[in-house]
Amino acid sequence: MANGRLMEAVETLKIQGVRMTPQRHAILNYLLSSIQHPTADEIYKSLSDNFPNMSVATVYNNLRLFREAGLIRELTYGDASSRFDANMNDHYHVICHHCGHITDFDYPVLSQVEKSASEMTGYQVNTHRLEIYGTCPMCQKELHQQKKEHLS
Ligand SMILES: [Zn+2]
Ligand SMILES: [Zn+2]
């Protein structure tokens, strides 16, 4: 499935006149096969073994290009670095406030909220962002373990 999406993405870029390079292909593949919402830095680190000459700037340039082509979404978090999401279907995120892990989950799009916001404020509403925060299963296990060790 990821392969089909990769071919589609390559085709989309080709139509927009973007030349495919081995590095660009690798970054695109990484994004499409990842469910981790990686940062540019994480992408860079994972690929630098295979592409020792690749710079962080190359990763950033490609991410911008993919975003402009509508292949990925950028999730900004104030001062912290952006995360990138190749899942372009409507979905929401649940975020672990211990480790920062982001997990996708499906929920019917809350278009009613947008409508109400628009009606109440007069804004022309384009989009919305909803994030759920909590403790991921892995951190729950770890915290539980720490508690046990502390008690014994
Ligand atoms: Zn966690
Ligand atoms: Zn996502």
Each residue's pLDDT tens digit, 71-126: 999 999 876 789 999 999 889 999 999 998 999 999 999 999 999 999 999 999 99
Which ligand has the nearest atom to the CA of 142? Answer: 1
CA of 34 to the centre of ligand 1 (A): 17
CA of 147 to the centre of ligand 2 (A): 31
Cα gap 116→110, rounded to integer Å: 10
Query: Residue 17 above 80 pLDDT?
Result: yes
CA of 9 to the centre of ligand 1 (A): 31
Cα gap 84→16, rounded to integer Å: 21
Model confidence at 148, pLDDT cuts 50, 70, 90, reads confident
Concatenated DSSP letters for 43-80? HHHHHTTT-TT--HHHHHHHHHHHHHTTS-EEEEETTE
Closest CA to 9 of 64, 58, 59, 66: 66
Q: Are strands 102-105 and 131-134 parallel, antiparallel or unpaired?
A: unpaired
Model confidence at 150, pLDDT cuts 50, 70, 90, reads confident
CA of 34 to the centre of ligand 2 (A): 10
Mean of the pLDDT values across residues 21-45? 94
Cα gap 109→126, rounded to integer Å: 13
CA of 92 to the centre of ligand 2 (A): 7
Strands, E assignment, 86-130: 92-96, 102-105
Query: Residue 152 above 90 pLDDT?
Result: no
pLDDT above 70 covers a percentage of the chain that reads 97
CA of 35 to the centre of ligand 1 (A): 15
Cβ atoms within 10 Å of 27's Cβ, excluding its own: 26
Give me the residues paired with residue 133 across strands.
95
Query: Residue 139 above 90 pLDDT?
Result: yes
Strands, E assignment, 8-152: 73-77, 80-85, 92-96, 102-105, 131-134
Q: What is the pLDDT of residues 20-30, one digit of tens each?
A: 999 999 999 99
